[in-house]
Structure 1
């Protein structure tokens, strides 16, 4: 049996992406086979396809895009007993691995997935995964955001930033968002108390207890906007000048608690289980910017690349049976 999957064989614009037929995978011990219903386009995938990550991590061809997924279990490998055929699940693949989730079927280790929120469709659910896990770990675990603190979210309208705003509100922070003026109403609808034009000079910003950065540029200048005892975390670095970003992160270590924390998420099914509970408690609202079929994944990449996206660009794969989320 075969399946369709997205692939690119060289670096370049969205048009290097194509959809091809490949053999359908078979789950090994400890793995499950997922019929994928939706995935999303993430910023890291754009940079990888463009070849902008080559200074940091090499890309092998052919390369298969897609990190997160929502779908249904259709086969179990040996030793998997705590999930069942037909379970509606969500999870992520290994970003450095050989497979991507922009495919009709996907084999993944059992520990990489969890049952997804039953009230969300696959399209809605997949918008919360990568961004939700990143924002939750960054704000709760890395900088220990406390109720009543002033939080600045940079890139607040994007796939991760829009979730970070909501996580900040859930944790009781007073959220200020850096975003384009056209996104102000959208970001306020997520719970931000104040929205500042992202073009405002960094030196003109106020002081914040916590800064959550999704851009990776001007990190040293941004760190200076921390109040005494403040903490900062970034999930990105300047792809045009990566060593400047990495140098700022390293040099900031002399400031102890006020250093710039950088992390790349490696989420597990247990974390996705927590995220499901948060979503079920209605602390998170999925934000779907647009949806494209697998055959138009190049258009999906182009949409994110062009900017102005609110939330996530989703790629719908396969037609889920009665996808009401249940």
Structure 2
């Protein structure tokens, strides 16, 4: 008899109300895969876009669909061909799903390629650790690999109170940069406590008033050309978001920026592998990055978590646990 588990699914595109809990088949470890018993996952902007149908051209209309990108949990099964690289059954791990394959982490168990998990930080709870996976690996790729931040450079972080931006502020400071953060006035103290040298209310200040920066890190996705104009000679801009209200327009703007050569808008979507996660574990255990947990929800309250993220004003990450 096929074993089942609790998962959050949706049978049509729409608002948070389309999400509901259902029993679905438990995942199995296919070639090179592992199965992890999930303790916690987080809510990401990509989940909102998938659920709402803004990515329907890419994701299609075959339902039900599941959500969830990242997870922290216990390694419970591994295919014989899985590359565990020193990990063992029973280890506490963190990782990400392969979004092209289907299984998602907003469930009690998840399967994923073994190369997309690593040992979780020993100094954080599951709820704390999961706040850093998507933001941490994305910020590291953006600032270290794409922007190549150097000590003393001026970095502008847009969307600094969010799940990715809040980690980007911390990472940029650990790399020796001077960090200016854009956030709402209500999030000013939160962002300053992350290490930002200056926090500016984005509602009260236009891009033209901000000055020049060596690096612009964008976690918002709109008005990209206005922020690209802030780059000093030799500056770099990296965006990890597209405008949720007009995603195609945002992508076209990124493509058109190629005419600016080295000062183009660099864009990427994170798909972290084991090395990314291992580097992140090291930074967390050294105390360079700390968790950015706003609040937690049970699996049955996933719709409430989506509503809260869409309402904005979230400081850090919203986390969903499977324990209740």
> Structure 1 residues 281, 34: closer, same or farther in 2, change over 3 A?
same
Conservation of the 8 A alpha-carbon contact between 1:66 and 1:102: yes
The residue correspondences of 1:63-142 to structure 2 (distance < 5 A) are: 63-80=65-82, 82-142=86-146
Partner of 1:284: 289
For 2:290, what is the secondary structure of its paired residue? coil
Q: Tell whether 2:160 aligns with 1:167.
A: no
Unaligned runs of 5+ in 1: 320-326
Query: Is 1:151 aligned to 2:178, yes or no?
Result: no
C-alpha distance in structure 1 between counterparts of 2:5 and 2:121, whole Å: 27
Q: Structure 2: how far apart are the matches of 1:60 and 1:134?
A: 29
TM-score by length of 1: 0.95
**C-alpha separation between the residues in 1 aligned to 2:240 and 2:193?**
24
Partner of 1:50: 52
The reply on whether 1:29 has 2:35 as its aligned counterpart is: no
State the 1:246 CA deviation.
Answer: 2.2
Matches of 1:56 and 1:231 in 2, distance apart?
Answer: 29
Distance in 2, matches of 1:57 and 1:176, equals 36
Instruction: Map residues 187-206 of structure 1 onto 2, 5 A cutoff.
Output: 187-199=191-203, 200-206=205-211
| Alpha-carbon separation, structure 1, partners of 2:209 and 2:55 | 32
What is the CA deviation profile of residues 210-265 of structure 1, one whole-angstrom value per residue up to 9, with x for unaligned ones? 00001111111110011111110001112333333223222221222111101111
The alpha-carbon deviation at position 56 of structure 1 amounts to: 5.4
Kept after mapping to 2: 8 A contact 1:102/1:294: yes
2:242 paired residue number: 237
Shift of 1:57: 4.9
CA distance in 1, matches of 2:249, 2:17: 31
Q: 1:23 to 1:241 in 2, by over 3 A?
A: closer
Instruction: State the distance in 1 between where 2:254 and 2:31 align.
Output: 40
**Partners of 1:40 and 1:127 within 8 A in 2:** yes
2:191 is paired with a residue whose SS is helix
The structural deviation recorded for 1:299 is 0.8
CA distance in 2, matches of 1:83, 1:231: 38
CA contact (8 A) 1:28 1:78 kept: no
Secondary structure of the residue that 1:117 maps to in structure 2?
Answer: coil
Question: 3-state DSSP class of the match of 2:66?
Answer: coil
Given the two structures, how large is their TM-score scaled by the length of structure 2?
A: 0.95
What is the CA deviation profile of residues 296-324 of structure 1, one whole-angstrom value per residue up to 9, with x for unaligned ones?
111111111111001000001137xxxxx
Matched, 1:306 2:311: yes
Cα deviations by residue, 1:85-117 (Å, 9 ceiling, x for unpaired)? 110000000223311101101111100100010
Secondary structure of 1:38 counterpart: strand
Alpha-carbon displacement from aligned partner over 1:23-46 (angstroms, at most 9, x marks no partner): 222212321111100000001111
CA distance in 1, matches of 2:219, 2:137: 14
Which residue in the other structure is 2:254 paired with? 249
CA contact (8 A) 2:50 2:59 kept: no
Shift of 1:62: 1.2
User: Structure 1's 102 and 201: CA in aligned 2 closer, same or farther, altered over 3 A?
Assistant: same
- Give ranges in structure 2 of 5+ residues lacking alignment: none
